[in-house]
Amino acid sequence: MIRLPRAAVWLLGAGFLAGCSGIKTYPDTSPRNLFVKTEARSGSAFGSVRVSVHIHQVDASCRTEYLGTVQLNEPAVAIGIPPDRPSYLVFNFYSSSFLGASTGSINYETLLRPRAGYTYDATARYADGIYFVVIRESGARGSTGREVSQRALSACDRR
C-alpha cells in the first residue's frame, strides 16, 4: 500500500475538484487581437476581487458554445479572438471578503465580432462594488479608434 503525505492528498483532491468545476482554460490559438487591462480593488483590506472573461463562440443560429476562460489576474492580458465571426464575451467580477463571510459576482456580457486587421483594447475595472468594461476598436494605422457598444446576445443576426 502506498502512503501519501496529507499535503499531497489535499493537493490531488483540490486538483480533482478544480477539474470538475466546468471552467476550462481558453485555447488561445488565434493571433492576439484583444488586449485587456484590468484594475480590481475590493475597497477593503479583508476582501479580494478576481476578474475573468469567459469566451463563447456563436454559430449562425446564434447558439453559443463555451470555449474557455481567461483569468485576468495580470494588469494586462493579450487574447486571440477569431476574427470575422461573432464571439460572446462574459467578463466576470467575483468579490469575496475575509473567510468567505460574503461573496458576490457581477457579469458584463457582450457580443463581439472582431474584424480582421483590427485590435480591441478593453478595460475591465472594479472598485468598491462598482464595475465597468469598455472596449475600443483600433485600425491597423494606429488610429484612436472607436468605442464598441455593448451588445446583448439577442442582437445576434440569425441567418
Report all structural domains of the chain as residue ranges with CATH numbers, in order of start.
22-155 (2.60.40)
- The pLDDT score that the predictor gives to residue 46 is 72
Return the beta strands (E) in 2-118 as ranges: 34-41, 47-58, 64-71, 76-79, 87-97, 103-112
Please give the pLDDT value at position 21: 57
Report the percentage of the chain scoring pLDDT > 70. 77
Strands 64-71 vs 47-58: parallel, antiparallel or unpaired: antiparallel
**What is the pTM assigned to this prediction?**
0.80
Model confidence over 11-64: pLDDT tens digits? 333 344 444 457 899 998 889 999 999 998 776 667 788 999 999 999 999 999
With bands split at pLDDT 50, 70 and 90, how would you rate the model's confidence at 4? very low
